[in-house]
Amino acid sequence: MVSQARKLQIQEELRKILNPEQYEAVVETDGALLILAGAGSGKTRVITHKIQYLVNIGVPASSILAVTFTNKAAREMKERVAKLVGKGKKGITITTFHSLGLQILEKEITHLGYRGKFSIYDDSDCQKLLKEIIHELRLPEDEYDLKDLLFKIGLIKIKMSSPSSIDDPNLPRIYEMYQKNLMAYNAVDFNDLIKLPIILFEEHPEILEKYRNRWRYILVDEYQDTSSMQYRLMKMLAYKHRNISVVGDDDQSIYSWRGANSSNISMFEQDFYPIKEIKLEQNYRCTGNILKAANSIICCNTDRKAKKLWTSGSAGHLIQWYEARDPEDEAEFVMTYISRLHLEGYKYSDFGILFRMNNQSQPIEELLRTNNIPYKVIGATKFFERPEIKDILSYMRFIANMEDEVSLTRIINTPKRGIGNATITAIMEHAKETNSSMYCSIRDFVRLGVLGPKTTPYLEDFYNLIEKYREQIFKPRNIARTVSNLVDEIDYKGKLLLEVKDPKSVQYKMRNISQLYQSISNYEKNPDNMDPNIYEYLQRVSLSTRDDENDGDEISLLSIHSAKGLEYKVVFVIGVEDGLIPHDKTMEETGTDQEERRLFYVAVTRARERLFLSYPRERTKFKETSQRNPSPFMSEIPEDVIETLDIEKDLGKKDTLAMLLDKWNLQDDK
């Protein structure tokens, strides 16, 4: 540790750049600390300066662990810490919960009976596995929605509950076989990345002790979103030294439907008693009017820690409210004001359009496409989940893990090579009889020729293909080249031309595959990757999310849930109507509007400068038109911060959407 005089000097420097509450949160290093950080209050600033402070006062960098939820948040935190700490950053662990679990499992998973390098199954892989299990158990396949079944299994793990807690008498059997098959394939699912380290620590206290002694100072971001499972992992790691700081905002707890446990704050207070609590209430993001609306909305919730956001900045523009005729009119309203503000100097990327349900974006997307305006839908199909990318990744995954039978069944006849379902069934049955893998069965069938002269050559070609590229792909910095050669050899483009027929669609898919080559090549060329290999690349892919994609100058369309942690200069919240905000289904399931009000609060606080709220007076669904009413939350917004829009009066009758778009296009042409 540094001398007391140097410590006081460091603290004095921090006082100059932090507000009093931020300063207190940064220099409080020993013991358990709960930091209640309101929206836009600078929580990331606090976490990064706290890491800097710990390093500057002499805490070894390797003993600091900071955990957040998304790859993007972790990446931004790393970048900020690097600027603050410089060379001192080496050894600091800044990661997501799932990456942390992966880091532990990569070193320790053999203690749980797994075999070295393992695969991480994504949702589609898991659903395929569940389909096989339902068939094997002879359950009625038409009664099971695979997506819903996987969601239930995920909740069992996240909440650390029993399979019998779900109202389905078959679920315990399905769950047991699901876990058994994952292990047989030397694979884990996404939730296992946190569940398995917990089991590891419970069964091997000496391993837990090793990691406890490694990370003596722990910081947890977005704490209000932690599940029971995530909290348990953090508690196990932190309980010995008890130097843990959790940063969160109970007013932004909106993920209970996917397992976030709102009681984790009270659990933290009990388990780490006595704790210190610090509130960050000064907002650096929103204008005064937006904050006044946000405070008025959220204060109606009773189940919360009392806090009130404030700003030293200006009141800013009034919040704009628009009652549209229908969703199409609402879309034209959004586009009209985006066009106007774009002409005033706002960039595409300054706009965020938020909605409660994904299908609400359709009328707006149609207008954007028609007028060639760049946009992105956040939360849409991820790059690595596109079918053509999944095909190639499945080849890579099987070559890396010969026991990954989900990947094997995807690629064995992709492209079609004369290996039909009967052959695949025979391979599976032989594998069960001999207690071996499907690939071992393929090898046996090829050597013995038991499938006859018609099928054996096809199986032999596939076997030789895998062996050939397995030999090549492990050569240093040869992954991208090997994958490219593989795609050419199997004539994947020819497969697409036969299946898709549309040449433009084929070109699009092949362009995606070219992007995959580039992704692999970038990974191999990155000097930070000392030993680039296929295992590490595939692990990175498995942990990737939509927020990993590069941000361009595009308008963002996203659900309110997806908007958590993001901000825009101008925000449009559409469909602010009763039945959507709050949502009828959520109200029926929970009997309370508290989380729905928090959701609306999150939507409002995404706006930095301008906020537009709207709803359609009527909406048509299944050819039936219904009248809609404004959200009851609108009555909670003070009248002095909001105004109702009359487009013709505000813009002038001559400034129609078409005219604004013409001006916009002329401006962009320049």
What is the arithmetic mean of pLDDT over 339-365? Answer: 94
Per-residue model confidence (pLDDT) at position 457: 92
Whole-number mean pLDDT of the chain?
92
Per-residue model confidence (pLDDT) at position 546: 45
Say which of 11, 29, 44, 456 is annotated catalytic. Answer: 44
543-567 b/e (C-beta count within 10 Å ≥ 16 → b): bbebbbeeeeebbbbbbbbbbbbbe
Residue 323, burial from CB neighbour count under 10 angstroms (0-12, 13-18, 19+): middle
- pLDDT band of residue 205 (cuts 50, 70, 90) is very high
- pLDDT band of residue 86 (cuts 50, 70, 90) is confident
**Cα 204 → chain centroid:** 31
Residue 482: is its pLDDT beyond 50? yes
What is the arithmetic mean of pLDDT over 246-261? Answer: 92
Residue 288: is its pLDDT beyond 60? yes
Active site residue 491: no
Say which of 95, 252, 287, 320 is annotated catalytic. Answer: 252
Say which of 108, 125, 189, 222 is annotated catalytic. Answer: 222
Residue 610 vs residues 122, 235, 289, 300, 529: alpha-carbon distances, Å = 38, 41, 10, 23, 42
**pTM as predicted:** 0.86
- pLDDT band of residue 657 (cuts 50, 70, 90) is low
What is the arithmetic mean of pLDDT over 175-200? Answer: 96
- pLDDT band of residue 468 (cuts 50, 70, 90) is very high
Q: Which of 568-577, 583-592, 657-666 has the highest mean pLDDT?
A: 568-577
What is the arithmetic mean of pLDDT over 248-274? Answer: 92
- pLDDT band of residue 662 (cuts 50, 70, 90) is low
Say which of 21, 43, 157, 605 is annotated catalytic. Answer: 43
Q: How far apart are CA 519 and CA 192, in angstroms?
A: 26
What do you get for the CA distance between the two ends of the chain, in Å? 59
Active site residue 252: yes
User: What digits encode the pLDDT tens for the residues 431-442?
Assistant: 989 999 999 999
Say which of 21, 192, 221, 405 is annotated catalytic. Answer: 221
Q: Which of 179-188, 417-426, 449-458, 485-494 has the lowest mean pLDDT?
A: 449-458
Active site residue 29: no
Q: Which of 73-82, 174-183, 217-226, 451-460 has the lowest mean pLDDT?
A: 451-460
What is the arithmetic mean of pLDDT over 248-257? Answer: 93
- Gyration radius of the chain over CA positions: 27
- pLDDT band of residue 648 (cuts 50, 70, 90) is low
What is the arithmetic mean of pLDDT over 447-472? Answer: 91
Give the HSE-up count for residue 570: Cα atoms under 13 Å, Cβ half-sphere. Answer: 21
Q: Which two tokens stand for residue 216?
A: 């003596």
What is the arithmetic mean of pLDDT over 39-64? Answer: 96
What is the arithmetic mean of pLDDT over 266-271? Answer: 95
Name beta bridge partners: 248. Answer: 36
Q: Where are the alpha helices (DSSP H) in 160-303?
A: 171-184, 192-203, 205-214, 228-238, 264-271, 288-298
Residue 547: is its pLDDT beyond 60? no
Q: How far apart are CA 470 and CA 482, in angstroms?
A: 9
Active site residue 488: no
What is the arithmetic mean of pLDDT over 453-458? Answer: 89
Q: Are 586 and 598 in contact (CB under 8 A)?
A: no
Q: Which of 40-44, 173-177, 458-462, 657-661 has the lowest mean pLDDT?
A: 657-661
Say which of 72, 195, 307, 606 is annotated catalytic. Answer: 606
Q: Which percentage of the chain shows pLDDT scores above 70?
A: 95
Per-residue model confidence (pLDDT) at position 217: 98
Length of the chain: 670
